[in-house]
Amino acid sequence: MENIAQRSINLKSSKKIIGKVLIYIILIMLTVIVFIPFLWMLSTALKSEADVFSWPPDWIPKPVQWNNFVDAWRTMPFTKFLQNTLFVVLLGMVAELISETIVAYGFARFDFPGKNLIFVILLSTMMLPFHVTLIPTFVIWNKLGLIGEFDPLVLRAWTAWGPFYIFLLRQFFMGIPIELDEAAEIDGSSPLQTFLYVLLPQIKPALLAIGVFTFKGYWNDFLGPLIYLGNKEKYTMNIGMYFFLGGINEAPKWNYLMAMSTLIALPVVVLFFIAQKYFIEGIAFTGIKD
């Protein structure tokens, strides 16, 4: 009897092991599939121009052209492009976090006439694709005389233009017991103090998750800078790297393009690993998925 029970346990545990092995095999295969484009990008970034389309393709270039990174960087003013990108990304990210948190706090904790209607209108703007509003928005910035500058990219962030993030933060605020606010009020705290010292520390994971997403959004933004920025002095990395696509009678420099793509992808990857813990916590709370 004992032997049968033991055998049944062994069978179960070996089934478990086989199941796990299978899952790992599938996961590893999926990881490889996901990594292939990244490895291809890295491999092309390290090839000479002539070897980019060599057949059969070499995954490990011979010789490895490390200088592609330096040469690509020097071909165009990428230091300037990086400064511009950081300027837009940091200001945009901070502005969005501040403006959207304040708006979400307002919707979560204050009552005012037409609150629900305004909130519904706000949410309905999520349904509008960016491309639909592109020209009307351009006309507005043009009338304000701010085309060609960074203003349209940065100032828009102060208008709390991310309804999705406002919605999530509002839900987050609503999940915090109102008693905390009341206790703070009894202790003499003003609404601003309650917001800053009581509520904000509670929503750190959500702020971090949204921070990472807005960083990624601004860092990868292509269409905004393409439409609004006036000349090479103001270009961001994403726009600058397109110069390597060549022209009508100029062949694309794929190795340079991939070198710059690798460099551009790097900060987002690094940021993800640094903020991973908070980020996943934030996603678990907020349910954000990219």
Partner 1 sequence: MKKKLVGFLFIILVVSLLMSTCLGAQKKKVTIRFATWAGTDEAKELQEIIDQLNAKSQQYIIEQDSNPADYDTRLLTQLSGRGGPDLFWVSSQRAAQLSAKGVMLDITKMLASSKHEAANIADYFEASLEPFKVKERIYGLPWIEQPVVLYVNRDLFDKANVTIPKGNWDWDKFLEVAQKLTIDNSGKNAGEKGFNKSAIKQWGFTVNGWPPAQIFVWQSGGDIIAPDFSCSPIDTPEAIRGFKFYADLINSPMVPSQQTIRDRGFDTMFRNQQVAMFMGGAADNLENRVDFRCEVIEVPMGPTGIKSTFADVLGMGINSKTKNPKAAFEALLDLTSAIHQWKVMPPRKSLATLETMNKLHPERSQAMQNIINSLAYAQPYRYFENYPDWDNIFWTQLMDPIVNNQGDPEELITIVKPLLDEKLK
Task: Give me the residues that bind partner 1 (CB under 8 A), please.
Answer: 50, 52-55, 75-76, 134-135, 138-139, 142, 147, 222-223, 226-227, 230-232, 235, 239, 242-253
Instruction: Give min distance, CB of 242 to partner 1, in A.
Output: 3
DSSP code at position 201: G
- Specify whether the CB–CB gap between 36 and 49 falls below 8 A: no
Measuring CA to CA, which residue among 196, 213, 208, 217 is closest to residue 281?
A: 208
Largest CA-CA distance found in the chain, in angstroms, rounded? 88
Q: Please name the residue that has the structure tokens 């971090």.
A: 208
The residue among 164 and 242 lying less far from partner 1, judged by its C-beta, is: 242
Closer to partner 1 by Cβ: residue 10 or 133: 133
Q: Which residue is listed with tokens 């351009």?
A: 138
Question: Which CB, 72 or 103, lies closer to partner 1?
Answer: 72
CA 288 vs CA 122, 125, 164, 254, 262: distances in Å? 18, 18, 9, 34, 26
Paired residues of 247 in beta bridges? 250
CB 239 to partner 1: min, Å = 6
Query: In the bound complex, what is the minimum distance in angstroms from residue 82's beta carbon to partner 1?
Result: 17
Smallest distance from partner 1 to CB 219, Å:
16
Task: Write down the least CB distance from residue 79 to partner 1, Å.
Answer: 16
Signed CA dihedral, 124, 130, 81, 142: sign only: negative
* Minimum CB distance to partner 1 smaller for 170 or for 253: 253
CB nearer partner 1, residue 199 or residue 237: 237
